[in-house]
Amino acid sequence: MIFRSKHHIGKVTRSGSRSSTVPRKTAVSQPAWIKQVLYGLTILAAVGAGVLIVASVIVAQTTKIYSANNIVLAELHLEENREIIPLENISPLIKQAVLATEDTDFYTHHGINIKGMARAALKNVVTLSFSEGASTLTQQLARNLFLTKKKKLSRKLAEIILAIQIERKYTKNEILEMYLNQVYWGHNAYGIESAAQLYFGKHARDLNLPESAMIIGLLKGPELYSPFRNYALAKQRQRTVLNRMAKLKVITQQQANNAFIQDLQLAQRKTFRYRAPYFTSYIVSQLYSQYGEEATLTSGMQVYTTLDYEMQMIAEDVVKNYVAKSRTPFYTSGRAEQNYNFSQASLMAVDPATGYIKALQGGADYKENQYNRCTQAKRQPGSTFKPFVYIAALEKGFSPNSIVQDSPITFSTSQGPYSPTNYTHTYMGNITLRKALENSINIVAVKINNLVGPDTIIRLARAMGITSPLQPFLSLPLGANEVTMVEMVTAYSVIANGGLRNDPTGVIKIEDREGGILFKHQVNPKRVLDENIAATIVDMMKGVVRYGTGQNANLPRPVAGKTGTTSDYKDAWFIGFVPQLVCATWVGNDDNTPMNKVTGGSVPAMMWRDFMKQALKNLPPVDFARSGDIPRRTDDDSSTGNASELPQDTGSAPPPDGIDPSGIDFKSL
């Protein structure tokens, strides 16, 4: 019987003959009834494998991903990056790690582990699921070569039959060799040699203990645990492998501990297959989740996305340029100061009328760091959270010209007194809500939060698109809770779209290889804000850009937005919009080190302005819809000096220990 992979991968061959260095199994005499059973199983396996091999000759076809303006962003195919090597050219540490982690009894079982299968079956009965499989390395090899990964009983039975046949045909060392050369290690690397070169820039025979443990840890989920994508998660898996090896006494616990704390030097990734890689990798991950990796790479789908490639190029340039500028000194009153001290930035732009993502730049350089700060990073939003507070106040009957006193106050709470402060440590006395929002006055926002109730604000934020956990603290308006940029863009799009919510989407439609529709996005807006309330908060937020902390984002067209800066300058945001486009910008450091006094009204606002100035060049200026109920500005401070002279915005987060002393017990003003 010839074992032929659905990927056309079999065992290692040397000059067309079997290696004399790998011992052959000797035949074992068996009772006649066992021979009859095995003969029947062999026939079943042969028929099943034959069907699968015939099915596998359907020609794989490249899946293509397109931008909205028909630029090919990626071509996905099963062009495997693989170099097959003999077992003796693989580090013994790799062999020890994979056996310890994946199949401890590999050299003693005959393809299946009866005890392991019994334990798995018991757990599946208890949990009423099919989550446990107890697959041996041989079963995994059979599945990878001939079967799918769907958890079905029929597949498991076929896997067992094929595993027994593989064990009868090949020696243990040959099976281990085939497994290590066949398995997928992430980023289009198949086989241990390709993985060693990809992650560490060395041959598989030269991998040391910490490197071997990290690579074997990837088997649980190569894309999920990739050290290029999430180094911390990869280290967790490395620790699991090392501890397992120590438990089995393959290594000592001290060796495991030393290997874990050793610094790993990852290889530089040389090339990327994607245009707009932050956006495209985001789409690819969704395709993998929806259709599976194999179908995505072989089925010839045509994926049409929302990305405006020209806008994306502008976004990439703006982010890259401002991160480069952060390393140069800035000037205050003609005097050179330190640099801005931020190493990362991100930008996301969405059409609020459809939810279509037009640009998504998740970091300064995808080649250096693939972590997507638009979709993955949770950061404190600072005062960009305040519009939710003011919307809640408007819904409770407040007006933009309602007066609140900006003065020191102390709240008595179950955790002690809480005394919020303004960034400038100065107070403006009686002030309208409009002016308080324009100047990002912390005390007024906290007082409104206390009056309308934090639970009310949280319910509103949820309806507008914030899904991350929110704690009902008095400091809620100051952006103490962590959220993603996608969530904030969703919520601000509701404001820009007159109270209608469209969740951001990156895919318009997906066709199969014959042109049949597999998926088509339907724009289905949901009203979550009254249109008059939306128009009123837009009018107030226009004042932020025209008169307040966001003046560095001003454009010669109607613009609304809000600045945000967290305590200790760890995050700085500007989120703003015109009727046709919502855009969020953020700067900071992945390790949460503070920046050098960067506020949302400075660098992020200027980034936003530079992007929007170019992105909107072909879109005529359009004003927002107005409501006749919006009161005109009544205070006499409708103009101010230069933006640099304005009180700088900061939405102070809780104290450094992360404990919010405001608790959840509230007292009326």
pLDDT category at 471 given cuts 50, 70, 90 is very high
Mark whether 326 and 200 lie in a shared domain: no
Q: Is 19 a residue whose pLDDT tops 90?
A: no
Asked which of 194, 227, 261 is the last residue of a domain, the reply is: 261
What span, in angstroms and rounded, lies between the C-alpha atoms of 9 and 181?
Answer: 9
Q: Is residue 146 part of a domain?
A: yes
Q: Is residue 626 part of a domain?
A: yes
Q: Is residue 304 part of a domain?
A: no
- Is the distance from CB of 637 to CB of 606 less than 8 angstroms? no
Q: Is 525 a residue whose pLDDT tops 70?
A: yes
pLDDT category at 446 given cuts 50, 70, 90 is very high
What span, in angstroms and rounded, lies between the C-alpha atoms of 267 and 200?
Answer: 5
Mark whether 247 and 368 lie in a shared domain: no
Mark whether 216 and 320 lie in a shared domain: no
Asked which of 231, 261, 291 is the last residue of a domain, the reply is: 261
Strands 63-66 and 302-305: parallel
Q: Which carries the bigger pLDDT value, residue 549 or residue 3?
A: 549
Beta pairing partners, 299 = 61
Q: What is the pLDDT of residues 65-87, one digit of tens each?
A: 999 999 999 988 775 566 789 99
Q: Which of 19, 91, 194, 383 is catalytic?
A: 383
Q: Is 98 a residue whose pLDDT tops 90?
A: yes
Mark whether 347 and 256 lie in a shared domain: no
Q: Given this model, what pLDDT does residue 122 score?
A: 54
User: Where residue 187 sits, what CATH number does that domain have?
Assistant: 1.10.3810.10
Q: For 548-596, list the strands marked E by DSSP.
A: 560-565, 571-578, 581-588
Mark whether 325 and 249 lie in a shared domain: no
pTM of the model: 0.64
Q: Is residue 655 part of a domain?
A: no
Q: Is 437 a residue whose pLDDT tops 90?
A: yes
Is 102 an active-site residue? yes
Beta pairing partners, 90 = none
Is 88 an active-site residue? no
Mark whether 323 and 252 lie in a shared domain: no
What span, in angstroms and rounded, lies between the C-alpha atoms of 641 and 116?
Answer: 74
Region 285-298: mean pLDDT is: 90
User: Where residue 501 sits, what CATH number does that domain have?
Assistant: 3.40.710.10
Q: What is the pLDDT of residues 227-252, one digit of tens each?
A: 998 999 999 999 999 999 999 999 99
Mark whether 384 and 474 lie in a shared domain: yes
Q: Which of 19, 102, 193, 281 is catalytic?
A: 102
pLDDT category at 140 given cuts 50, 70, 90 is confident
Q: Tokens 């008059």: give the residue.
A: 532
Q: Is residue 578 part of a domain?
A: yes
Q: Is residue 664 part of a domain?
A: no
Q: Given this model, what pLDDT does residue 25 score?
A: 41
Q: Is residue 635 part of a domain?
A: yes
What span, in angstroms and rounded, lies between the C-alpha atoms of 605 and 654?
Answer: 24
Q: Count of domains in the chain?
A: 2
Region 577-595: mean pLDDT is: 96
Q: Please provide the average confidence, as pLDDT, over all residues in the chain.
A: 83
Q: Which carries the bigger pLDDT value, residue 209 or residue 666?
A: 209
Mark whether 337 and 483 lie in a shared domain: yes
Q: Is residue 78 part of a domain?
A: no
Mark whether 521 and 394 lie in a shared domain: yes
Q: Where are the alpha helices (DSSP H) in 248-363?
A: 253-261, 277-291, 293-298, 309-325
Here the tokens at position 526 are 């949901």
Mark whether 114 and 249 lie in a shared domain: yes
Q: What is the pLDDT of residues 299-314, one digit of tens each?
A: 889 999 999 999 999 9
Mark whether 320 and 190 lie in a shared domain: no
What span, in angstroms and rounded, lies between the C-alpha atoms of 266 and 312?
Answer: 29
For residue 241, the enclosing domain spans: 34-45+87-261
Mark whether 331 and 221 lie in a shared domain: no
